[in-house]
Structure 1
Amino acid sequence: MQTNTLNSKSAAQPDFNNLVNAFAHKSDNELRLAYWLFKVVNIPALMKFSTTAARWSLNFGLPVKSLLKGTIYRHFCGGETVKEALHVVDKLHDFQVSTVLDYAAEAEVTEEGFEYVKNQILNNISLAKKNPGIGYISVKMTGLGNPDIFEKVTLGRKLSEAEDFSMERTFYRLHEICKRASEAGISLYIDAEESWIQKPIDDMAEKMMRMYNQQRTVVFNTLQMYRTDRLAYLKDLIHRMEDRPGLLGIKLVRGAYWEKERERAAQNGQSSPVFDTKEGTDKSFDDAILLCLRHLPKVHLCIATHNQKSTELLVNEINNSNIRFHHKVLHFSQLYGMSDNLTFALAKAGFSASKYLPYGEVKKAMPYLMRRAEENTAIAGQMSRELNLLEAEMKRRNL
Structure 2
Amino acid sequence: MRTATKITARSLSSVATKFPAAGLPPPPQPPSYIDLSDTRRLFASIPTSALIRSLAILSAMATGPLVDLAGAALRSSVPKERRLLRATVLTAARATVHRHFCAGEQGEDAARMVRAMWTDAGLRSILDYGMEDADDAAACDRNLAGFLRAVDMASSLPPTSTSVCVKMTALAPISLLERASDALRWEQQNPSFPVAWRTHSFPVLCAFSPLYLTPTEPQPLTETEENDLQLAARRLSAICQRCAQANIPLLIDAEYSSVQPAIDYLTYWAELKFNHGDKPTVYGTIQTYLRDSRERMRNAAGAAAAAGVSLGIKLVRGAYMSRETRLAAAMAAPSPLHGSIQETHRCFNDCASFMMGRVSRGAAALVVATHNVQSAQAAAMKAQELGIGKEDERVQFAQLMGMANGLSYGLRNAGFRVSKYLPFGPVEQVIPYLLRRADENRGLLSSSAADRQLIRKELSRRLAVAIAGKN
Return closer, same or farther for 1:58/1:115 CA change in 2, 3 Å cut-off: farther
**Residue 28 (str. 1) matches residue 48 (str. 2):** yes
The one-letter code matched in structure 1 to 2:319 is A
Determine helix, strand or coil for the equivalent of 2:428: helix
The one-letter code matched in structure 2 to 1:388 is Q
How much does 1:315 deviate?
A: 0.9
**Residue 172 (str. 1) matches residue 237 (str. 2):** no
- The C-alpha deviation readout for 1:119-159, integer Å capped at 9, x for no partner, is 11111111212212642100101111112211111111322
Partner in structure 1 of residue 175 of structure 2: 148
Return closer, same or farther for 1:120/1:275 CA change in 2, 3 Å cut-off: same
| In 1: Cα distance, 2:346 partner to 2:144 partner | 36
Determine helix, strand or coil for the equivalent of 2:239: helix
The one-letter code matched in structure 2 to 1:88 is M
Partner in structure 2 of residue 373 of structure 1: 438
| In 2: Cα distance, 1:377 partner to 1:326 partner | 35
Partner in structure 1 of residue 146 of structure 2: 120
The one-letter code matched in structure 1 to 2:346 is K
Would the aligned equivalents of 2:390 and 2:415 in 1 still touch at CA under 8 Å?
no
**Residue 355 (str. 1) matches residue 420 (str. 2):** yes
Query: Which among 418, 422, 429 is matched to residue 364 of structure 1?
Result: 429
Return closer, same or farther for 1:131/1:200 CA change in 2, 3 Å cut-off: same
How much does 1:316 deviate?
A: 1.1
| In 1: Cα distance, 2:444 partner to 2:289 partner | 13
Determine helix, strand or coil for the equivalent of 1:260: helix
| In 1: Cα distance, 2:391 partner to 2:324 partner | 34
Alignment of 1:21-170 (within 5 A): 21-55=41-75, 62-94=87-119, 95-132=121-158, 134-156=161-183, 157=218, 158-170=220-232
**Residue 279 (str. 1) matches residue 342 (str. 2):** yes
**Higher mean displacement: 334-343 or 319-328:** 319-328
Return closer, same or farther for 1:321/1:160 CA change in 2, 3 Å cut-off: closer
Return closer, same or farther for 1:351/1:379 CA change in 2, 3 Å cut-off: farther
User: Where in structure 2 are there 5+ consecutive unaligned residues?
Assistant: 1-31, 184-217, 467-471
Would the aligned equivalents of 1:292 and 1:299 in 2 still touch at CA under 8 Å?
yes
**Residue 324 (str. 1) matches residue 369 (str. 2):** no
Return closer, same or farther for 1:220/1:164 CA change in 2, 3 Å cut-off: same
Return closer, same or farther for 1:140/1:211 CA change in 2, 3 Å cut-off: same
- The C-alpha deviation readout for 1:36-88, integer Å capped at 9, x for no partner, is 11111122222222322444566876244443221111111111001011111
| In 2: Cα distance, 1:381 partner to 1:201 partner | 29
Return closer, same or farther for 1:260/1:63 CA change in 2, 3 Å cut-off: closer
| In 1: Cα distance, 2:452 partner to 2:85 partner | 33
**Higher mean displacement: 55-64 or 315-324:** 55-64
**Residue 211 (str. 1) matches residue 273 (str. 2):** yes
The one-letter code matched in structure 2 to 1:78 is A
Would the aligned equivalents of 2:131 and 2:429 in 1 still touch at CA under 8 Å?
yes
RMSD across aligned positions (CA)? 2.0
**Residue 265 (str. 1) matches residue 285 (str. 2):** no
The one-letter code matched in structure 2 to 1:146 is P
| In 2: Cα distance, 1:191 partner to 1:24 partner | 32
Return closer, same or farther for 1:219/1:264 CA change in 2, 3 Å cut-off: same
The structure with the larger Rg is 2
How much does 1:289 deviate?
A: 0.8
Return closer, same or farther for 1:284/1:42 CA change in 2, 3 Å cut-off: same
How much does 1:14 deviate?
A: 3.0
How much does 1:326 deviate?
A: 5.4
Partner in structure 1 of residue 449 of structure 2: 384
| In 1: Cα distance, 2:302 partner to 2:328 partner | 30
The one-letter code matched in structure 1 to 2:176 is I
Would the aligned equivalents of 1:117 and 1:144 in 2 still touch at CA under 8 Å?
yes
User: Where in structure 1 are there 5+ consecutive unaligned residues?
Assistant: 1-11
Partner in structure 1 of residue 17 of structure 2: none
Partner in structure 2 of residue 225 of structure 1: 288
| In 1: Cα distance, 2:259 partner to 2:57 partner | 33
Equivalenced residue count is 388
How much does 1:381 deviate?
A: 4.7
**Higher mean displacement: 302-311 or 388-397:** 388-397
Would the aligned equivalents of 2:143 and 2:171 in 1 still touch at CA under 8 Å?
yes
| In 1: Cα distance, 2:260 partner to 2:320 partner | 13
Determine helix, strand or coil for the equivalent of 2:368: strand
Determine helix, strand or coil for the equivalent of 1:116: helix
| In 2: Cα distance, 1:63 partner to 1:229 partner | 42
